[in-house]
Structure 1
């Protein structure tokens, strides 16, 4: 695959790991840092340009940094998020970011393009020195 589109961003959220015996079982927050790396074997158009010159629009990879009232995860209480609920570990959040980002990217593709060549790797840092990677 000749192209990898890579971007990083951060968002702040609070959560409780339900049932955790320790400090993470109490309400606390993180400044999560995310790296998205989307690889493709070909270039495509986007919602903003109709020529085949992009892997994807950077905007489609950075959706989670938007405020929770705009559909992102910034300043969210993650336990109230319908796709996370009580499972708010870094592993579960990284898998959700992966699934939702690919859904959003594929939603922008032209009819007939299933985006089968697209590969996404999500790295989520919960603290400056603790991260989780998720890819398929």
Structure 2
């Protein structure tokens, strides 16, 4: 079979709570979402008939392991807050949740997406895969998406 560039996508779900510090709407309060994350890589399927991965670009299990270890395990059932939350309130966050992450950005869907992209990109690319797209659904009808093809070369 002729070797052609293909894309492979795997979808993940995780539950996470967050609050938007200093926001002017109801999302300033702690609330949660069931997120759906889609990760797409591209490349060429292995065509070596002697290789156990013949016909595969990436083993879905390998992609699952990478994303689970670096994203899902970190954020699933976590409370994610901007590190700008006053230090006086941080202790109370740990009183209501054992799994709290303070991040250097406002934990919007868009910023969470970019954080995930910056986490996965070097790992997947060091394994020889090209990260093509990351899509993060915050609700069933609302998502943010990063696509390599939309980026200037300096931001890929």
Is it true that 1:76 corresponds to 2:95 in the alignment? no
Aligned length: 122
Quick one: structure 1 residues 21 and 98, their matched pair in 2 at CA, closer, same or farther if it must change by over 3 Å? same
Equivalence for 1:128: 140
Structure 1: distance between partners of 2:118 and 2:70: 19
TM-score by length of 1: 0.71
Which residue among 80, 101, 104 is the counterpart of 2:123?
Answer: 104
Quick one: structure 1 residues 26 and 56, their matched pair in 2 at CA, closer, same or farther if it must change by over 3 Å? same
For the aligned residues, what is the CA RMSD? 2.9
TM-score by length of 2: 0.63
Is it true that 1:12 corresponds to 2:22 in the alignment? no
Q: Is the 8 A contact 1:7 1:36 kept in 2?
A: yes
For structure 2, the residue ranges without an aligned partner over 5 or more in a row are 82-99, 149-156
- Kindly name which structure, 1 or 2, has the bigger radius of gyration based on alpha carbons: 2
Structure 1: distance between partners of 2:120 and 2:9: 13
Q: Which structure has the highest helix share of the two?
A: 2
Farther-moved stretch of structure 1 (72-81 vs 7-16): 72-81
| Superposed counterparts of 1:40-55, under 5 Å | 40=43, 42-43=44-45, 54-55=56-57
Structure 1: distance between partners of 2:119 and 2:26: 29
Secondary structure of 2:110's aligned partner? helix
Structure 2: distance between partners of 1:88 and 1:32: 13
Equivalence for 1:37: 40
